[in-house]
Amino acid sequence: MLTVENERQLSPNDVDLYLFHEGTLFEGYKVFGAHYEHVDNEDGFRFTVWAPNARSVSVVGDFNDWDAGKHKMKPVKQSGVWTSFIEGIGVEERYKFAIETASGSVVLKSDPYAFYAETRPNTASLTCRIDGYKWHDSKWMRQRDKKDEYHRPMVIYECHLGSWKKKEDGKLLTYRELADELVDYAFENGFTHIELMPIMEHPYDRSWGYQITGYFAPTSRFGSPQDFMYFVDTCHKRGIGVILDWTPAHFCRDTHGLGKFDGTPLYEPCDPKLADRPQWGTYNFDFSKNEVVSFLISNARYWMDVYHVEGFRIDAVSSMIYLNHNNDLPFDLKNKYGGYENLEAIDFIKKLNEAVFIEFPSALMIAEEATDFPMVSKPTDAGGLGFNYKWNMGWVHDILRYMSLEPSERRYHHNLITFSMLYAYSENFILSFSHDELVYGKRSLLNKMPGDEWQRFASLRVLYGFFMTHPGKKLLFMGSEFAQFDEWKDLEQLDWKLLDFPMHHAFHDYAVAFNHFYQETSCLWRLDHEEEGFEWIDADNSNQSIISFIRKGKRKGDYCVIVCNFTPNVYHHFKLGVPASGPYLEMFNSDAETFGGTGQCNRKSVESIDEPFHNHPYCVETTIPPLGISILMKETKKRKTMKAYDQV
């Protein structure tokens, strides 16, 4: 951990400089930026910045009336790095770097490594000490390193802090207030992790944090760095992991940020064709510069070291590995071999993952990657990119397209719900109903469903059930757990009043019950990434738009039989192959009245029939609910009292 008691010289030494220019200074946050020091019996802050093409650099702030002539920084051995110690500066002092460019003009820049920043619309960096917080998550941290996330349940709650909930006067909740409300809510609703849309400092609310100016500063919109530590600490005390959205692909062009930092393209490529990202109005990072690689990898390790987060969902990976992905330039970019891959970005990604996992073996490194680039979630020594998870965006696209069809049309598009199993084990997948699917006119999950109110809610229940039982970990965007009616409105809080309406309340009960049932049912997650964890019973029943399959756990006999019906027809005495004889108990049924359904449930156990069917030695006859999912498990005394729809 970073503390002043480390007794290390914070100004760059020869080793620091060598590693920085080599692209291997993975703890650059201990060297660059503004650090408290006690020098010659004087307290103050040492400032260090990389600006290789500057004529001169000064630290300016309220403490010197923003006069660039008062605190000039010294160049360090012609390394392009500048440093200075200023005595008498306290915490939360505003500062910037005044950089004299080669042309003689002076630009004011925020500190790229600042730990804290002014609240927008102000743009100065703030001096800060991040070593004083007393953590209470030592037990969590010890256990985290022993956890095998691949074989554990994972239901992630994706959240935008600015619009999850607001105060009565419309102001934002603070990190500490969110710790009191959001963390309990996530725990009680059966989520294992909270994923935060980027909380790194950013100037524009409606960029949602994806266009960053302060990569090392938790946004001051919600409080101080210590307040954010409290939020993470509270999550850990409640058994909730924290994942941050992270954007190493590009950064915003605001004049106080990284763009043309020393008067020249520094963090971005020198070639404008490679630097510009027209679609987003941003600059790409230049992964060919070792100093940029050191900056970004240091940033990833910083959040895990200083703030104890579990890992990252890395945004826009496809835009990193392909030169022309999401690029509106009127021509194609090519690498030195004539291909379309960004070779430097691919090398960076591999190096990033290696550097993170060597220090944090239990880290979650999740790629939002939308193409069929191979081996994204495979180790680098096996030829992969080194992530340990990838969003399954193909499954999300297919299932949402399928569910938007009228039930009578679904029989003609049956492959949309079965195709995913042809590639389900090619990567370690997370199924993600994220914010990307619920904005810009795409409508909420509920509003994607066709039909009247009952059909839409029933379709949403079977969709959620298929989502929770399909192989792969899970991610759900906030509000979807109570069937938010409108698509996400980033300037407003979620429509919490919908919980006053019976159908929304019932759906919320359903989602919460399913989340808890999922966590308690090991066969739904124990072998998520191994082929022996899944077996089709019948994948070909397109005429009735019904699929049936088995999810298996590690232990013999640990399995459940799952049937999904994507039409409003009810089927009694529906014959279904099962692997073993004996009574089967329906443990979950989305059509239970308590969930807003019609009550077409199997209240009594279903006895197997000694007759081969569906390539299984036995079969059962069961009721299949309309637009519903039914989950059967072998009956035991314990399970008789555990029916999920009887627990609400």
- Distance in angstroms between the alpha carbons of the first and the last residue of the chain: 44
> Exposed e or buried b for every residue in 113-143, given b needs 16+ CB within 10 A?
bbbbbbeeeebbbbbbbbeebeeebeebeee
Contacts of 639 (CB under 8 A, 6+ apart): 585, 587, 633
The Cα–Cα gap between 89 and 104 comes to 28
How far are the Cα atoms of 200, 288, 364, 375, 481 from residue 345, in angstroms, in the given order?
21, 8, 20, 16, 36
The Cα–Cα gap between 96 and 55 comes to 16
Candidates 315, 369, 436, 487; catalytic one: 315
Contacts of 102 (CB under 8 A, 6+ apart): 53, 54, 55, 263, 264
> Exposed e or buried b for every residue in 592-619, given b needs 16+ CB within 10 A?
beebbbbebbbeebbebeeeebbebebb
Give the strands of the sheet with 606-607, arranged side by side: 534-538, 546-552, 559-565, 628-634, 583-589, 606-607
The Cα–Cα gap between 122 and 477 comes to 30
Q: What is the CA radius of gyration of the chain?
A: 27
How far are the Cα atoms of 17, 73, 265, 380 from residue 101, in angstroms, in the given order?
22, 14, 12, 40
Structure tokens at 308: 């104890």
How far are the Cα atoms of 19, 73, 355, 445 from residue 16, in angstroms, in the given order?
5, 18, 17, 50
Is 368 annotated as catalytic? yes
Element (H, E) at 458: helix 453-469
Q: How many Cα atoms are found within 13 Å in the side-chain-facing hemisphere of 235? A: 27
The Cα–Cα gap between 576 and 153 comes to 28
Handedness of CA 210, 377, 141, 181 (dihedral sign): positive
Is 315 annotated as catalytic? yes
The Cα–Cα gap between 8 and 19 comes to 16
Candidates 37, 291, 310, 368; catalytic one: 368
Handedness of CA 18, 21, 26, 28 (dihedral sign): positive
Residues annotated catalytic, as ranges: 315, 368
